[in-house]
Amino acid sequence: MNYYIVTKEVFETIEPGTIQFAHHSMDNSAWVVTTTDTVENVLSSYTNASDLSSYTVETNTHWTGDGSGIEEWEIEETEYLSGI
């Protein structure tokens, strides 16, 4: 699995069937995404869900707005549903 933060434009190019988890930023300009695809032009990449989760906790106002960030279990267990 690959763990990325990408722009909205890059997110829209990722094949929906390869996405496991996706969550947009509060301003909808960026996405946290886990995918089996290798994605070019990412804002940042992470080696695992724990590192990605830690980043969202450190920058929580950008991702959740409530001081919590995205929990590791959410990244690993929440299934992305295309079109919802």
Look at residue 61 in the predicted model and tell me its pLDDT: 86
Residue 72 is part of which domain span?
2-77
Residue 82, domain member (yes or no):
no
- Residue type, position 69, single letter: G
List 24's β-bridge partners, or say none: 31
Torsion of CA 67, 73, 79, 82, to 10 degrees: 30
pLDDT digits (tens, 9 = 90+) for 9-49: 999 999 999 999 999 999 999 999 999 999 999 999 999 99
Look at residue 82 in the predicted model and tell me its pLDDT: 61
Residue 83, domain member (yes or no):
no
Residue 9 contacts by C-beta under 8 Å, 6 or more apart in sequence? none
- What is the pLDDT of the chain when averaged over all its residues? 92
Look at residue 79 in the predicted model and tell me its pLDDT: 85
Number of domains in the chain: 1
Residue 30, domain member (yes or no):
yes
Look at residue 84 in the predicted model and tell me its pLDDT: 47
